[in-house]
């Protein structure tokens, strides 16, 4: 194999690896976004459930006439 063909093969591999690194970076970025979205949704659910729970507990504490 000549030096020129070895260099071409090397640069083709490097070009492919660079494309794969860009794709992997994009996938990792999307993963981070989805994890943050998931965590925000979970936190929202916790607040919502806690709010409902507080309303139920307050209603029970006050009794049926509200006092």
* Predicted local confidence at residue 45, as pLDDT: 72
Domain count, the chain: 1
67 lies in some domain: no
Q: Rounded to the nearest 5 degrees, what angle is found at the Cα of 39, between the Cα atoms of 33 and 42?
A: 140
* Predicted local confidence at residue 44, as pLDDT: 77
54 lies in some domain: yes
- The per-residue pLDDT string of the chain (67 residues; one tens digit each, 9 = 90 and over) reads 799 999 999 999 999 999 999 999 999 999 999 999 999 888 877 777 666 666 666 666 665 555 4
* Predicted local confidence at residue 43, as pLDDT: 82
Kindly report the pTM of this predicted structure. Answer: 0.57
What torsion do the CA atoms of 57, 58, 59, 64 make, to the nearest 10 degrees? Answer: 120
66 lies in some domain: no
37 lies in some domain: yes
Domain containing residue 48: 1-61
């Amino acid at each position: 194999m000549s030096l020129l063909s070895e260099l071409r093969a090397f640069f083709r591999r490097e070009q492919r690896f660079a494309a794969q690194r860009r794709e992997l970076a994009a996938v990792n970025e999307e993963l981070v976004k989805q994890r943050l979205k998931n965590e925000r949704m979970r936190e929202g659910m916790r607040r919502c459930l806690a709010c409902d729970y507080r309303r139920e507990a307050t209603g029970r504490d006050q009794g049926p006439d509200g006092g």
